[in-house]
């Protein structure tokens, strides 16, 4: 366990995994899934790095300005497929 603040790139160097899912890191230039409750939140938080939208908003939308909206509870395989296509090599 690291007991001091670390930068994201340093943290990732210590991980041995096929995929790493991070929560937060809005400022990082990484592919993102935007979890939102409603369309207003999507509108406010959509960034160019967002490749998918999920959360409660997925009960009402299937696409937002060309970005797929996926209900992770009902369509987990579709979300996993998209993550595999959009993820970066570590």
| pLDDT, position 90 | 63
Which pTM was predicted? 0.84
As a whole number of angstroms, the distance between CA 76 and CA 25 comes to 23
pLDDT of 22 over the 80 cut = yes
pLDDT of 34 over the 90 cut = yes
Q: How many residues does the chain have?
A: 90
State the pairing for strand pair 63-64/50-54: unpaired
Quickly tell me which residue has 């670390």 as its tokens.
Answer: 6
- The neighbour count for residue 27, using CB atoms within 10 Å, is 9
Q: What is the mean pLDDT of the chain?
A: 91
pLDDT of 8 over the 90 cut = no
């Amino acid at each position: 366990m690291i007991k001091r603040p670390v930068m994201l790139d340093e943290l990732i160097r210590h991980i041995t995994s096929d995929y790493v899912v991070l929560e937060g890191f809005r400022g990082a230039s990484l592919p993102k899934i935007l979890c939102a409750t409603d369309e207003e939140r999507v509108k406010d938080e959509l960034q160019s790095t967002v490749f998918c939208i999920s959360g409660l908003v997925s009960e009402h939308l299937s696409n937002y300005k060309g970005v797929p909206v996926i209900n992770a509870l009902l369509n987990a395989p579709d979300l996993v497929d998209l993550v595999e296509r959009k993820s970066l090599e570590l």
